[in-house]
Amino acid sequence: MLVMSGINKVYQTEQVQTHALREFNLSVAEGEFVAVTGPSGSGKTTFLNIAGLLENISSGDYQLDGQSIVGLSDRELSRLRNEKIGFIFQGFNLIPDLNLYENVDVPLRYRGFSNKERKQKIEHALETVGLSARMKHLPSQLSGGQQQRVAIARALAGEPKFLLADEPTGNLDSLMAKQVMELLENINKQGTTIVMVTHDPELARRAQRNIQIVDGQLCDFTIYQGGTVNNDTDKNAVA
Amino acid sequence: MFSYYLQLAAKSLKSTPITTLLMVLAIACGIGISMTALTLNHMTGTNPIPEKSSQLFAVQLQSSGKTSEWPTSDNVPFQIAYQDATNLMRVMPKYKHTAMYKTGFSVRTLEPKFAPLLRTARVTTRHFFSMFNVKFLYGAPWSEKVDENPTLQVVINQDLNNKLFGGGDNTGKEIFLDDKTYQIVGIIEPWHPKPKFYDLNNGSFQSTEQLFIPLVLSSTYELPSFGNNNGWKDERNNTFKDKLASEVLWLQYWAELPDAEAKEHFQQFLTGYVDEQKKLARFERDDARAVLRNVQQWLDYNEVVGDDSYVLVAVSFMFLTVCLVNSIGLLLAKFLRSAPSVGVRRALGASKGQVFSQHLVEVGLLGLIGGLLGLVFAYLGLTLLKNNFAGFDFVATMDMVMFLSAPVIAICATVLAGVYPAWRVCNTLPSIYLKTQ
Ligand SMILES: Nc1ncnc2c1ncn2[C@@H]1O[C@H](COP(=O)(O)OP(=O)(O)OP(=O)(O)O)[C@@H](O)[C@H]1O
Ligand SMILES: [Mg+2]
């Protein structure tokens, strides 16, 4: 599903050069629920952005769903991102001018679905997160937990294979965080691969597999919670 | 996708009403002013009689003295002398050609209480009307006989007919022109060629005359010319008779020559006439000659679309540029403020190209609104010109071409202005905006 081998990411600013990821290797199999932890500034968000094709890599190879993304054009990357990847952010990042229906509509528009298909998918996605009664509300009229559920609905609407979440519960109280976590677990049960960055060890423990990033590198410390999961963090693993 | 972008554009413009208003106003001002200038330029450059433009010829004679200087590019005077006019009119009956000049009268009805009106009049022959496609509402031009035997007949236009009688068919009635009674034989429809190509004396965009009377009356009643009288010879012209026999140049002369053959024929005739006058030692110059120019050539020759009107257009477009540069600043600020949303769209699968298009559609919509408002501004500007400056009446009227081009120019200009801001916003790195809200 996701295979990263020897990835380096260097941020170059005028004064400093930051090696955000160095010789980073990871492989995630289809259907896995991976929790990523690590100290602040260690490169978790950078990893997620690269996994989600939002940032290019300085060197190395990244294969998404069997296809190498090195050398693809912006258009091809955007298309892959649109079809295969759903994003959930710590800050929800709903578009403030658009109501819930329109927010969930955004990825579907770029996908080129017909009006009918879109309507059906949006309604289904909002139903999944339990917010179909509020389609015409603006994001500002919702609680944080509700906003994050809309963001999940938006990430799911296009039925991506792959869900990337960057501290999705970071801005939520523990009750709401639990609800969101349950939602993610349900989604994972339906077959969607999830990679979630979190600071909360309790939530991390609920995932099938835990990895830790320290100083831009993967620390092999995997917790298995039953099920069959590949024990592979080396570069030649196959998804 | 376009309709989606349009929806987003409308939403976005509504979400920042003040910025939107400022940008629309800036564009509208720029478009309004440049459209006003363009309309003036366009209308002054329009052919006043397109259907006959290449068949009507202004006739010029190089009849002046050896050392005379004229302000024309070929140093040929643009008017002719009365004796040449009468000589030319006598021959070549196969073609319509006529001399003419402008005079004026105090006009009133036979009603004793009627307050006299001062009106300009054209002194010419009956051919004038058919040559220049002047249409009659009532009656007809005076007859051929009237062109030969002085008869007090007059053709008036609809405006004057309304002023004098309140409209209606008043042919056959008599009116006073100064102290003589003339019989009305025809009333013409409104006729306002712009520029007034047949007589460019005293301004190219003057109104047409309201009265037309036979040229033969000129010598009998000594009707003075209200146009330019160009003298080059040291003559004593004490009386009107002296003037008629003099070398003073004060009449316009036009010929209708339907095809190349006719033109050739008429040119030969004129050349013959010039040679004859040379033999008589009346025409002194070695380069004495006759020149024919069709309407467009005549307008170009007289530089009717002056450079000032291009300067005006250039200045107004510079103003438009300033307005657009202002809008670029506002757009840039607005777009960069929306960068977080753009980051989200990028994360959800929008390509750079799609983000770019989305923003250009927004800019295009802005241009359309600005353009339409600009059209209103231009209309107001032209109305203002019309109401405050005589002679602008017909020039300051927008035709369909101008009407349609305003929004198109506005959209093109704003889209051009929007390229940079849209490019900037589509090139921002999405990940920067996604970390926190
Ligand atoms: N756009 C950027 N330009 C320069 N340096 C950057 C940029 N983004 C991240 N970095 C640097 O890269 C390193 C990794 O950052 P990253 O955001 O991936 O950390 P993180 O693990 O997500 O931290 P946190 O837990 O605080 O969110 C940091 O040292 C950071 O300063
Ligand atoms: Mg982070």
Cβ of B343 and A98 within 8 Å? Answer: no
Q: What is the pLDDT of residue B251?
A: 96
Q: What is the pLDDT of residue B47?
A: 73
Q: Which residues lie closer than 8 Å to B77 by C-beta, 6 or more apart? A: B60, B61, B62, B63, B64, B68, B70, B230, B232, B249
Measure A86 CA to ligand 1 centroid, in angstroms: 21
Q: What is the three-class DSSP state of B69?
A: coil
Q: What is the rounded distance in angstroms from the CA atom of residue A16 to the CA atom of residue A19?
A: 10
The closest CB to that of A97, out of B15, B343, B354, belongs to B15
Residue nearest to atom 25 of ligand 1 (CA): A40
Q: What is the pLDDT of residue A224?
A: 47
So what's the ipTM on this one?
Answer: 0.88
User: CA-nearest residue of chain A to B358?
Assistant: A110
Chain A neighbors of B346, CB-CB under 8 A: 54, 78
Q: What is the pLDDT of residue B389?
A: 66
Q: Which of residues 23-42 of A touch B (CB under 8 A)?
A: none
B376-394 per-position pLDDT tens digit:
998 888 888 777 765 565 5
Q: Which residues lie closer than 8 Å to B19 by C-beta, 6 or more apart? A: B330, B333, B334
Residue nearest to atom 19 of ligand 1 (CA): A41
Q: Provide the token pair at B110.
A: 């036979």
Is B172 a residue whose pLDDT tops 50? yes
Instruction: Work out the average pLDDT over B197-210.
Output: 88
Q: Which ligand is nearest to the CA of A50?
A: 1
B13-23 per-position pLDDT tens digit:
999 999 999 99
Q: Which residues lie closer than 8 Å to A191 by C-beta, 6 or more apart? A: A30, A31
What pLDDT band is residue B397 in, cutting at 50, 70 and 90? low
Cβ of B429 and A55 within 8 Å? Answer: yes
Cβ of B349 and A82 within 8 Å? Answer: yes
Q: What is the rounded distance in angstroms from the CA atom of residue A127 to the CA atom of residue A129?
A: 5
The residues pairing with A194 across neighbouring beta strands, listed in sequence order, are: A33, A163
Measure A98 CA to ligand 1 centroid, in angstroms: 30
Half-sphere exposure of A139 (CA within 13 A, CB side): 19
What pLDDT band is residue B45 in, cutting at 50, 70 and 90? low
Could you say which DSSP state residue B330 is in? H
What pLDDT band is residue B258 in, cutting at 50, 70 and 90? very high
Q: What is the pLDDT of residue B384?
A: 84
Cβ of A109 and B12 within 8 Å? Answer: no
Query: When comparing pLDDT for B174 and A235, which is higher?
Result: B174
Radius of gyration of chain B (CA): 30
The closest CB to that of B349, out of A81, A93, A96, belongs to A81
Query: When comparing pLDDT for B436 and B39, which is higher?
Result: B39
Residue A116, number of CB atoms within 10 A of its CB: 8
Instruction: Work out the average pLDDT over B407-429.
Output: 88
Provide, for chain A, the percentages of residues in helix, strand and coil under a 3-state DSSP scheme, each rounded to the nearest 5. 35, 25, 40
Instruction: Work out the average pLDDT over B50-65.
Output: 90
A165-180 per-position pLDDT tens digit:
999 888 888 888 888 8
Half-sphere exposure of A160 (CA within 13 A, CB side): 31
What pLDDT band is residue B358 in, cutting at 50, 70 and 90? very high
Is B314 a residue whose pLDDT tops 90? no
What pLDDT band is residue B194 in, cutting at 50, 70 and 90? confident
Low-confidence residues in chain A, pLDDT < 50 = 223-239
Which residues line ligand 1 at a C-beta cut-off of 6 Å? Answer: A 11, 13, 18, 20, 38, 40-46
φ, ψ of residue A166 in degrees (nearest 5): -105, 105
Domain boundaries, chain A: 2-93+160-230
> Strands B56-61, B249-256: parallel, antiparallel or unpaired by DSSP?
antiparallel
Q: What is the pLDDT of residue A193?
A: 95
Mutate to test the pocket of ligand 1, among A8, A16, A44 (most ligand atoms within 8 A of CB): A44
Residue B195, preceding peptide bond in cis (omega within 30° of 0): yes
Tell me, yes or no, if B180 comes closer than 8 A to chain A by beta carbon.
Answer: no
Q: Which ligand is nearest to the CA of A38?
A: 1
Cβ of A54 and B347 within 8 Å? Answer: yes
Query: When comparing pLDDT for B283 and B429, which is higher?
Result: B283
Q: What is the pLDDT of residue A238?
A: 38
Q: What is the pLDDT of residue B182?
A: 97
Which residue is listed with tokens 């040679």? B275
Query: Minimum mean pLDDT among A84-88, B2-6, B182-186, B324-328: which range?
Result: B324-328
Instruction: Work out the average pLDDT over B60-81.
Output: 91
CATH superfamily of A2-93+160-230: P-loop containing nucleotide triphosphate hydrolases (3.40.50.300)
Q: What is the pLDDT of residue A231?
A: 44
- Crossing angle (nearest 10°) for helices A115-128 and A100-111: 130
Q: What is the pLDDT of residue A232?
A: 44
Could you say which DSSP state residue A140 is in? G
Q: Which ligand is nearest to the CA of A41?
A: 1
